[in-house]
Structure 1
């Protein structure tokens, strides 16, 4: 299954007429090919340093994004930390399915990297673009924990006139992803 450019293997079990996902596996090693293949629409920004990949939406006026990237950065920390040996691919699926309109993925060309955006490792950065602003998810390395394991915090960097709103939207989704579901209370 391809969701906003991320490819997953999701087996389902029929449970009384309801399909239940048994597990989720990232399948990034081979891109989808053949019938049903839809290429990403890519847009190069900041003199080719940044590539925005639009899998399921139409990109906006790139002049607005160039102007946004020239504005001061807004940062929003989530307070959510994970050990470096814990995969965060489920967060990418969560963001891809909850951001809807405006979801894209950002990559930074290593040979053109000016440091404007943190170059994502592994996955392209989940990004929210709306009109003249953008916010992207990133991981920030923290100190080692008491066991000597590297810790990382999820945070958001945003640019443009509506940077704060987009940073809050994206950061709030990351925090919600980490919030355990409510359990029903019975009297």
Structure 2
């Protein structure tokens, strides 16, 4: 790269970190650690995505596409630096640690290599040979030839270099395969983007003495490309109105025609006086406490002009009822930049769903400052061995995930 271009890239990298720090202050977020800031200022992010412009490579909240399927769907990307910094701090990498990264872009492995130092080890694994091939090339070209790059289905980990002090998963994991926990060292930590009844959360888990995983109190909303291979899980939505309105994470049969008619019909509004704060935490609370929960995906145009206007967020958690009825969370301004959360009720039984939703929101208002505790146990664990204060148990092929609010 010419000297001028190198200087431009160096400046773009410093500007990226400065912007990230400023935004974290403005948004009242926990600032990145000094060690993570240092490596972000050092590792040339643009060198791992040469197809992107400098502006794209160093945008703080932009995930750079690396590989797409034939239908255009992104199957691999370099995560936004905001998310990478957050996950590295969640992982708490220290010099001398052994790290397994699941999902290979190269850049994140280089950051991890800097954090664990020459006495540490970093292994990155991906199922796609094209992805690992480019990761290998760019790691070598930037001086990180010490990072191991492995091509295989990450569902089974990389046992030959285990145990790992930290495992960082950079793809969306619908379930946590037993190999990951088995390959953690005692007292190790797993950081993974999970799907919890339709809610996306990146969670840092510590490995307990009895072998189950216990979340640390710093999980965050993130969006990742889904896992491929044996751990793949297809999330299929129910089209309600073309591509404008769809229902996901449904656990029951739905009368789509009745639901469509309900959303275009009259609605009742309920405003229980609950402030709209911490919406992501509120979503997880709702998902755990609602009897008939689903997630409504609505296009921007429909939010502005369609039948379900003024929804609280997109996607939005909803509560279903019989006859195509539904209760949708909404919000309205109360002045001074503050908002109130409420519920829109649609359909013949919408009021019943809305009353249930309002009870959930009122209970949330008393616990809004409390982060959920998320624990993951092996499938087959008896109910008697699960925490007594559990609110919701999510059963999947490999695990039983327990949600509670201590």
* Superimposed CA distance per residue, residues 102-132 of structure 1 (whole angstroms, 9 cap, x where no aligned partner): 3111122224553311255764110011222
What is the aligned partner in structure 1 of residue 19 from structure 2?
Answer: none
**TM-score, structure 2 normalization:** 0.38
Contact 1:64 1:131 in 2 (8 A): no
Query: Which 5+ residue runs of structure 2 have no aligned equivalent?
Result: 1-193, 369-406
The separation in 2 between residues aligned to 1:76 and 1:112, in whole angstroms, is 21
1:79 CA drift (Å): 0.3
Matched, 1:130 2:321: yes
Structure 1 runs of 4+ with >6 Å offset: none
Rg larger in 1 or in 2?
Answer: 2
1:80 CA drift (Å): 0.9
The separation in 2 between residues aligned to 1:31 and 1:122, in whole angstroms, is 21
Contact 2:312 2:329 in 1 (8 A): no
Contact 2:327 2:344 in 1 (8 A): yes
Matched, 1:5 2:198: yes
What is the aligned partner in structure 2 of residue 44 from structure 1?
Answer: 239
The separation in 2 between residues aligned to 1:135 and 1:63, in whole angstroms, is 16
Contact 1:107 1:119 in 2 (8 A): no
Query: Which stretch of the first structure deviates more once superposed, 58-67 or 111-120?
Result: 111-120
1:30 CA drift (Å): 1.0
Higher relative contact order (CA 8 A, sep 6+): 1
The separation in 2 between residues aligned to 1:131 and 1:67, in whole angstroms, is 13
Matched, 1:21 2:211: no
The separation in 1 between residues aligned to 2:345 and 2:259, in whole angstroms, is 11
What is the aligned partner in structure 2 of residue 185 from structure 1?
Answer: none
Richer in strand (by share): 1
Contact 1:104 1:128 in 2 (8 A): yes
**TM-score, structure 1 normalization:** 0.77
Contact 2:311 2:329 in 1 (8 A): no
Matched, 1:91 2:282: yes
Question: Which of 65, 70, 83 is the equivalent residue of 2:259?
Answer: 65
State the aligned residue count: 171
Q: Alpha carbons of 1:176 and 1:44: their partners in 2 closer, same or farther (altered >3 Å)?
A: same
Richer in helix (by share): 2
What is the aligned partner in structure 1 of residue 11 from structure 2?
Answer: none
The root-mean-square deviation of aligned C-alpha atoms, in Å, is 2.7
Matched, 1:140 2:332: yes
The separation in 2 between residues aligned to 1:12 and 1:71, in whole angstroms, is 45
1:136 CA drift (Å): 0.9
Contact 1:96 1:126 in 2 (8 A): yes
